[in-house]
Amino acid sequence: MTNWQCNKCGYSIKADAPPEKCPSCSNECSFVDNSCYTPDCQGMQSDPRIKKQNENR
Q: Report domain extents, the chain.
A: 1-35
pLDDT of the residue at 34: 81
Residues 25, 37: Cα–Cα separation, whole Å: 27
pLDDT of the residue at 51: 66
pLDDT of the residue at 45: 65
pLDDT of the residue at 33: 85
pLDDT of the residue at 1: 83
What string of pLDDT tens digits covers the 57 residues of the chain?
888 999 899 899 999 999 989 999 998 888 988 876 666 666 666 766 666 555 544
